[in-house]
Structure 1
């Protein structure tokens, strides 16, 4: 298991950089299918898509408190996942982690 973590750590970190980084990580992980990298790609893809899906409706409120709470929520999820990847752990993000793993299982 430790060998798998070390091999997939770079890909997992790249997936956290942006949505473009997530796409690059998917391509990088396409050949080897490292389980650690796949886990973190699913988490970050879910975080970024959640941000895009909620960003527009929240933006319609035109209130800085509502918008700020979305940014803080997404940042906390992202930071939790990023620190988990840096430490070589496969921790599900709170609330939505298991959903992201199930939802993106057939895609990634």
Structure 2
């Protein structure tokens, strides 16, 4: 993953987004060549940079580039749709209907 300047404390960043310090350490290790993670969006938000740039180094690191923001939004929508699809499949496998599921409760 690309790093921002000035550097942020890895421990502080980990606490801020609710992950283990080792996860941040792994993502920042140059020899790992990490290309993002499931926490990329939270990391980018905490650092004030574009998730696309953070994961790939492509595009503008800062959010004032509207094209990057649109691509980020489309990527986020794709991730959310995948998650919703998995939830729907799990509900179907368990014989649970979305009509009967209560908000905030796992079925």
TM-score by length of 2: 0.30
Larger radius of gyration: 2
Task: Between the two structures, name the one with larger relative contact order (CA 8 Å, sep ≥ 6).
Answer: 1
Q: Comparing both structures, which one devotes a greater share of its residues to helix?
A: 1
TM-score by length of 1: 0.30
